Structure 1
Amino acid sequence: MTAPKSASPKHLSVLLSEAVDALVIRSDGRYIDGTFGRGGHSRLILERLSDSGRLLGVDKDPEAIAAGRELAQADSRFHIGHGSFAELERFLAESGWQTISGMLMDLGVSSPQLDDAARGFSFMREGPLDMRMNPEQSPSAAEWLNSAPEAEIADVIWRYGEERFSRRIARAVVTRRAEEPLATTREFAELIAGAVPRKEKHKHPATRTFQAVRIFINRELEDLEAGLKTAVEHLEPGGRLVVISFHSLEDRIVKRFMRDLARGPQLPRRLPVTADQAESDFHLIGKAVKAETDEVTDNVRARSAVMRVLERRSGKSEV
């Protein structure tokens, strides 16, 4: 069975062929696209699978779920689950899968989310200050900013945005909301611009803060850590975990997680163990992959993308 090949024209999947080439190592395998989006990666994965292969897509965004249901109607090998890849255990139980042949995680916010002003992700578009990948969950960015303690706001902006003027921005938020609650992306972006005394060349002063609030509201880093751990627990021998990250906080977590697994147990010197006992169940596949110049030209979002691949060694059992 051949999957529909056309994805949404509004979204270009980053490192599309590179990710699917690294992921699909058996045509009859069971795979998970942990960030379905508009299905770009999933459609190509399905093209690589035989009739006995299976693919489960997962996404927080109801609009992505709607696109996934259309694909599921067109291709019986595909199913879609609404939620975070941090809930992988639930999705596996619902699917009746004990192990998987591979999992793909394309992190961050998708182009359709950024382009839709009503979602409130972008400081470049006027819209409600929302930023939720799943609008059915609370709080929105506005609800949190208009109620959280100043110290908490400053901590989030510093921790997730690495914004050196986080305290100034938090103070401006608290001062502003005492007069009138923040409601729109433009209001928040203008407030940030006024609070930042020194601007970075070629970067909007709201960039880091919008990133920080979005990551916090959607629990992106906590979900990433949980998803990575569960994925490797269920990888079959020869199975692969492929992760595409878009900023340093994500990539740092992924890099350390994969590196530590590939290193294996750090045993005391002179401990009487065999080489097989000291060897890790996992190893890294190649080096970090970045988008080629042509892809960056066609899709500026690809500029910061970094892909890393981890494989469970063949003949190794579950962790």
Structure 2
Amino acid sequence: MDIQKSFEQRETGTLYVVPTPIGNLEDMTFRAINTLKNVSLIAAEDTRHTKNLLRHFNINTPLISYHEHNKNAREQMLLQHLKDKEDIAIVSDAGMPAISDPGHDIVQAAIKEHISVVVLPGANAALCALVGSGLSTNQFTFYGFLPRKKKEKQAELERLRDYATTLIFYESPFRVKQTVKVIQDVFDESHHIVLARELTKRFEEYTRGTVREVLEWIETQELKGEYCIIVEKGQAKDEQLSLWWSNLTIQQHVDHYVREGFSTKEAIKHAASDRQLPKRTIYQAYHN
């Protein structure tokens, strides 16, 4: 068991996980800038990329590479710096480290050594795309990059098809067309999806529609930039059972769970989950 009190005095340094802008430098927070200025060392996915960011904000902290190909060799060195009471920041090329980017392993290693890990809030492409998509945000599943090979990609999407959550994927512009075609095969052409690209940048773009509409649009486009693909939530296998409440009023729906032995609070929570509505909406309708 490990209890971390992040800002109490400790015998080690602190590992700071610092998100960086996904495109627009104005999204860098004051706290992130000050943290990068005050740590002893910055571990970066690509030092050439990060040097440009540091130069822009007049940050002169020493820089070292930490990426997928050298993370094992770097880990013990970084841990030793932390044990020597030096604070370290880890950054990726864009967004939140450890989310489809290097970072998880050093975070895990630091926790095992009882070293504080402090995560700063900041830019994240997946959440920006989800909120901007207009699809349900009540429950969602972030997957990251799907397998490159079509057969493996189809198998993963078939596994995810019955998830009653909005799905979020990252995708290269070179594979967006193939991925959307596989989504059409696994789901159907009337399923709603959203493509989001160049988020926070000048050419930010959302393409919203059915799979068929989006595929037709793709055929006329030269795709550029990294994409987020947001897929409308799937239907559970026993759809008719999942909609057993469709003829009930909200009050009847909540009362059903109360009769099953749930408290009113729990019953409202279950009804909200069934209907994919905010709990406060069910609460207000039930009590009014």
The answer to whether the superposition gives a TM-score over 0.5 is no
Structure (1 or 2) with the larger CA radius of gyration = 2
TM-score, normalising length from structure 2? 0.29
Q: TM-score, normalised by structure 1?
A: 0.27
